[in-house]
């Protein structure tokens, strides 16, 4: 981090990220946490544009509940590939860090992102807000 001392306070002027911004996530590699269950991924230190490549190794959907890290304004792209869709859990009622808010899913608590599709979220406060869905066909994103 680069800081400058101004008016009796340190102000951040630049940040360097040494990690690759693409994280490969398989259904077998998702973190397990007793508080939230499976589906938690950490993106701290990945820079302003992170990509989660979600690859399901089975016919069961890969379930993503929470992405921890990222500063406000960070963009997160979810790319799906593999034997099944990705099931993205959305929870607009809670302010827990790293949860998703989706306009595509309406009032549902989850949506399916079809294999070979993607969606972009932007970090706003503690939440990931859907910024741009990408449809490869009319059924790419649907309420589950």
Cα 72 to Cα 124: distance, rounded to the nearest angstrom: 5
Average pLDDT for residues 61-73, to the nearest whole number? 85
Q: Each residue of 27-40: pLDDT tens digit?
A: 777 755 445 556 78
Task: Name the residue with higher pLDDT: 16 or 49.
Answer: 49
| Percent of the chain scoring above 70 in pLDDT | 74
Cα 60 to Cα 87: distance, rounded to the nearest angstrom: 10
18-143, CATH topology level: Jelly Rolls (2.60.120)
The structural domains of the chain, with segments of one domain joined by +, span: 18-143
Task: Answer whether 91's CB lies under 8 Å from 109's CB.
Answer: yes
Cα 137 to Cα 103: distance, rounded to the nearest angstrom: 18
Cα 113 to Cα 94: distance, rounded to the nearest angstrom: 22
| pLDDT class of 23 with cuts at 50, 70, 90 | confident
In this structure, the strands spanning 31-33 and 37-42 are antiparallel
Cα 47 to Cα 15: distance, rounded to the nearest angstrom: 9
């Amino acid at each position: 981090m680069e800081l400058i001392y101004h008016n009796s306070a340190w102000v951040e002027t630049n940040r360097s990220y040494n990690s690759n911004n693409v994280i490969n996530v398989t259904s077998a590699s998702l973190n397990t946490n007793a508080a939230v269950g499976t589906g938690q991924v950490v993106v701290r230190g990945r820079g302003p544009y992170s990509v989660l490549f979600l690859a399901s190794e089975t016919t069961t959907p890969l379930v993503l509940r929470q992405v921890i890290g990222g500063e406000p304004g960070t963009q997160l792209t979810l790319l799906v590939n593999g034997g099944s869709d990705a099931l993205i859990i959305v929870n607009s009622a809670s302010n827990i860090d790293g949860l998703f808010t989706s306009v595509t899913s309406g009032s549902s608590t989850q949506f399916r992102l079809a294999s070979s599709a993607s969606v972009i979220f932007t970090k706003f406060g503690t939440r990931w807000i859907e910024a741009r869905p990408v449809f490869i066909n009319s059924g790419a994103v649907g309420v589950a």
